[in-house]
């Protein structure tokens, strides 16, 4: 099997069960961390039990008053310094994520280094401009810190998700207990060190490591929290919401999607189709807002499929540490098996494979590789059309007229994100206004290009928003003083 340059980045590392203040706390139970490209154990992570979770929340509570009293301008300055440190250490952070979950290094640099830096600086600017108090009808409305925030983050975009949640909570004057995904614990330690070195008190930013049933469940249910922010599956979000409800703790849930890319009949297909193909398969399809449903004009089906085949020919599967790699392995054998099950079900439902075979490609260096797949001719109720696959699988849905395109786009249990492509921006915006999602990107605008724009969904994609002033406000309460 090919030896990856990532071997020098992570080998034999250990993450503790928790970081509480300045204490590194170990546990007897440890979980393996697997590099999906080399398919070897590159380290282990401890598991925090309910007692450790309680200790972390208690410690965060001790520092809450002091941090909440810090001037917003001071908190903003700390976020800017964190951005500087993350940028300085960006190469190590990107390489760590690439080794942990197989993300191509060029994508890791763009989304786990550059994007978090932009988010931090955007949140710092939002903190300085935020309406911490305003006059309404003879009263002064004060935005005050909510309290202790639990941030529960996923493995697919680990650094970005940590920064999006933690930066907003700290900007609001809250303290934080972070539970990163057990598959990606090492980048979380690096990010915490950036925040602390920039001036965040160690007592105000704890990490508890472990799995969902043990650590995540204990954290979600803790009565000392003011807010739980979770990104993950619908099933995981439901469990978090149930646990938090027992203590009447507010939640923000970002639960994924089955996002449509609506290509209108007046779009320049030669330009648009390769871009739609790429956005649907970013991170090998392991992105919550990946546009995995292609809503395309039936009148141009032949030309569209030719363009899709050509786009697939430009994909480069291989070593994530190689800058020329466009698609790495899936993040684990478990995830690979889930995707293969979806593909098998689609085949049984009569799917036509426009691109791909639906088999693993171990010759690429790992059994976790699946080449891009594009399916067509599936009924609208097929599982591959309606369920989030979280892998390199796109589904074509052809339409005859624009009204049908909008209907197809909205016929979905999710409502996180969408794209609209048109030769006219005004036309695209008009169609965007008809889509039942939390965010619509017109003619190629990327989420990473707009770090102050709120991100979040409707329907089973969850509720609440991240990023910018709206994301900051999630972690505040309103105190109205009437006189």
* CATH number of the domain bearing residue 398: 3.40.309.10
339-359 confidence digits (pLDDT tens): 999 999 999 999 999 999 888
pLDDT score, position 124? 98
Q: What's the CA gap between 372 and 363, in Å, rounded?
A: 15
270 and 416 belong to one structural domain: yes
pLDDT score, position 3? 41
Q: Is residue 287 part of a domain?
A: yes
DSSP sequence for 11-26: SSEEE-SEEETTEEE-
173 and 291 belong to one structural domain: no
Nearest to 288 by CA among 169, 418, 186: 418
281 and 221 belong to one structural domain: no
Per the structure, the complete domain to which residue 126 belongs is given by: 5-255+462-482
pLDDT score, position 11? 77
pLDDT > 90? residue 420: yes
Task: Tell me, letter by letter, the H, E, C secondary structure of 197-221.
Answer: HHCCCHHHEEEECCCHHHHHHHHHC
Cα 380 vs. chain centroid, distance in angstroms? 27
118-161 confidence digits (pLDDT tens): 999 999 999 999 999 999 999 999 999 999 999 999 999 999 99
pLDDT band at 6; cut points 50, 70, 90:
very low
Q: Is residue 384 part of a domain?
A: yes
pLDDT score, position 365? 85
Q: What's the CA gap between 27 and 218, in Å, rounded?
A: 16
Q: What's the CA gap between 328 and 325, in Å, rounded?
A: 7
CB atoms within 10 A of CB 274: 16
* Rounded (5°) CA angle 349-355-360: 80
Bridging pattern class, strands 175-179 and 148-152: parallel
272 and 230 belong to one structural domain: no
Residue of 254, 305, 419, 466 marked catalytic: 254
- Is the overall model pTM greater than 0.85, yes or no? yes
Which tokens belong to 36? Answer: 């999906």
Q: Is residue 33 part of a domain?
A: yes
203-228 confidence digits (pLDDT tens): 999 999 999 999 999 999 999 999 99
Q: What's the CA gap between 414 and 433, in Å, rounded?
A: 17
139 and 232 belong to one structural domain: yes
147 and 37 belong to one structural domain: yes
107 and 62 belong to one structural domain: yes
Q: Is residue 233 part of a domain?
A: yes
Q: Is residue 414 part of a domain?
A: yes
Cα 400 vs. chain centroid, distance in angstroms? 34
Q: How much of the chain exceeds pLDDT 70, in percent?
A: 98
Q: Once rounded to an integer, what is the mean pLDDT over residues 87-91?
A: 96
Q: Is residue 208 part of a domain?
A: yes
26 and 127 belong to one structural domain: yes
Look up the CATH number of the domain holding residue 53: 3.40.605.10
Q: Is 124 left (phi over 0), alpha (psi -120 to 50) or beta?
A: alpha
317 and 243 belong to one structural domain: no
Strand, helix or coil at 96?
helix
pLDDT score, position 7? 41
382 and 348 belong to one structural domain: yes
Q: What's the CA gap between 297 and 130, in Å, rounded?
A: 44
pLDDT > 70? residue 5: no
Q: Once rounded to an integer, what is the mean pLDDT over residues 105-127?
A: 97
Domain count, the chain: 2
pLDDT > 50? residue 2: no
148 and 235 belong to one structural domain: yes
Contact call for residues 115 and 103 (beta carbons, < 8 A): no
Q: Is residue 288 part of a domain?
A: yes
Bridging pattern class, strands 30-35 and 393-399: unpaired
Q: Strand 476-482's sheet: what is its strand order? A: 133-136, 139-145, 476-482
Cα separation of the two ends of the chain: 73
390 and 417 belong to one structural domain: yes
433-479 confidence digits (pLDDT tens): 999 999 999 999 988 899 999 999 999 999 999 999 999 999 999 99
pLDDT > 50? residue 48: yes
243-280 confidence digits (pLDDT tens): 999 999 999 999 989 999 999 999 999 999 999 999 99
Strand, helix or coil at 432?
helix
Q: What's the CA gap between 324 and 316, in Å, rounded?
A: 7
pLDDT > 80? residue 9: no
Q: Is residue 456 part of a domain?
A: no
pLDDT > 60? residue 1: no
Residue 137 exposed, middle or buried by CB count within 10 Å (0-12, 13-18, 19+)? exposed
Which tokens belong to 144? Answer: 């005050």
pLDDT score, position 335? 96
Q: Establish whether 254 is a catalytic residue.
A: yes
């Amino acid at each position: 099997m090919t030896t990856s340059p990532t071997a020098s980045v992570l080998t034999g590392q250990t993450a503790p069960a928790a970081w509480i203040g300045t204490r590194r706390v170990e546990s007897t139970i440890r979980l393996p961390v697997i590099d999906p490209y080399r398919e070897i154990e590159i380290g282990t992570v401890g598991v925090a039990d309910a007692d450790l979770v309680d200790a972390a929340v208690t410690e965060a509570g001790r520092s809450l008053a002091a941090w909440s009293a810090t001037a917003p301008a001071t908190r903003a300055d700390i976020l800017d310094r964190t951005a500087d440190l993350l940028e300085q250490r960006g190469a190590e952070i990107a390489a760590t994520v690439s080794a942990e979950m197989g993300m191509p290094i060029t994508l890791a640099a763009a989304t786990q280094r550059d994007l978090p830096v932009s988010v931090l600086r955007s949140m710092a600017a939002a903190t300085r401009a935020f309406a911490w108090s305003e006059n309404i009808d003879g009263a002064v409305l004060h935005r005050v810190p909510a309290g202790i925030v639990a941030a529960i983050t996923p493995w697919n975009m680990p650094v970005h998700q940590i920064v999006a949640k933690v930066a907003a909570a700290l900007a609001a004057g809250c303290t934080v207990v972070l539970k990163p995904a057990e598959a990606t614990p090492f980048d979380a330690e690096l990010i915490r060190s950036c925040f602390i070195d920039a001036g965040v008190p160690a007592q105000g930013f704890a990490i508890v490591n472990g799995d969902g049933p043990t650590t995540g469940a204990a954290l979600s249910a803790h009565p000392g929290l003011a807010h739980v922010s979770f990104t993950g599956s619908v099933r995981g979000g439901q469990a978090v919401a149930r646990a938090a409800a027992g203590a009447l703790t507010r939640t923000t849930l970002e639960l994924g999607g089955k996002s449509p890319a609506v290509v209108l009949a007046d779009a320049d297909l030669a330009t648009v189709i390769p871009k739609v193909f790429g956005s649907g398969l970013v991170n090998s399809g392991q992105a919550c807002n990946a546009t995995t449903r292609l809503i395309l004009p039936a009148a141009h089906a032949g030309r569209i499929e030719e363009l899709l085949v050509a786009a697939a020919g430009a994909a480069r599967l291989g070593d994530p540490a190689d800058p020329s790699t466009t698609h790495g392995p899936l993040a684990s054998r478990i995830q690979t098996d889930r995707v293969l099950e979806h593909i098998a079900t689609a085949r049984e439902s009569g799917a036509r494979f426009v691109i791909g075979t639906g088999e693993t490609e171990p010759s690429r260096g790992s059994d976790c590789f699946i080449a891009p797949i594009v399916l067509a001719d599936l009924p609208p109720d097929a599982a591959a059309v309606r369920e989030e696959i979280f892998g390199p699988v796109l589904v074509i849905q052809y339409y005859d007229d624009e009204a049908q395109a909008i209907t197809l786009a909205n016929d979905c249990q999710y409502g996180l994100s969408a794209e609209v492509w048109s030769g006219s921006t005004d036309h695209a915006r008009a169609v965007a206004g008809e889509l039942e999602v939390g965010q619509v990107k017109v003619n190629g605008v990327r989420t990473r290009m707009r770090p102050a724009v709120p991100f979040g969904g409707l329907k089973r994609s969850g509720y609440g928003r991240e990023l910018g002033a709206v994301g900051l406000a999630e972690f505040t309460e309103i105190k109205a003083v009437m006189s």
